[in-house]
Structure 1
């Protein structure tokens, strides 16, 4: 018996695609722009969290919002229906 051969260019189950893709470059650029925007906005602001009102730097609030959004985005993209 001869081993089965695959078509040229077909991926085998353990192989990964290229490390640099247009999608990854886009995500990286968006992350860099978001970090620049976040760290340029450092003044203190008042935020109401349901009942209490807290004062914190805007950059911290933006980082927390970005982290929570990234977590939920990654979670829902990985879930299989």
Structure 2
């Protein structure tokens, strides 16, 4: 039996760390989404408010995916700030 001093941290297995457990689904979904995005090669016409743009479908999907990721980051950051504990006075 190995004894550890209070100064040493206990070893936590890599896959059971909370940060890693949250990251695994993100990595899997991102990989699947990117495969789907880059498999679509044909050109499509996209109507923005007034102009009509012709571009590859993978470009439009990639832009939509990036905007979704940006929205998630902004939302998570705002939620973290709102639910932060006030400092003890």
Give the TM bin, normalised by the shorter chain: 0.7 to 0.9
TM-score, structure 2 as length reference: 0.67
How many residue pairs are counted as aligned between the two chains?
67
User: What are the within-5 Å matches in structure 2 for residues 11-50 of structure 1?
Assistant: 18=17, 20-21=20-21, 23-50=22-49
CA drift of 1:42 comes to 1.2
Deviation of 1:54 after TM superposition, in Å, equals 0.4
1:20 is displaced (CA, Å) by: 2.5
Structure 2 gaps of 5+ residues are 1-5, 11-16, 83-89
| Matches of 1:50 and 1:28, distance apart in 2 | 33
User: What is the alpha-carbon distance in structure 2 between the residues aligned to residue 27 and residue 73 of structure 1?
Assistant: 12
Greater helix content = 2
Equivalent residue runs for 1:44-59 within 5 Å: 44-59=43-58
How much does 1:30 deviate? Answer: 0.2
Q: CA RMSD in A?
A: 2.2
The aligned residue for residue 72 of structure 2 is: 73
Question: What TM-score do the two structures reach when normalised by structure 1?
Answer: 0.73
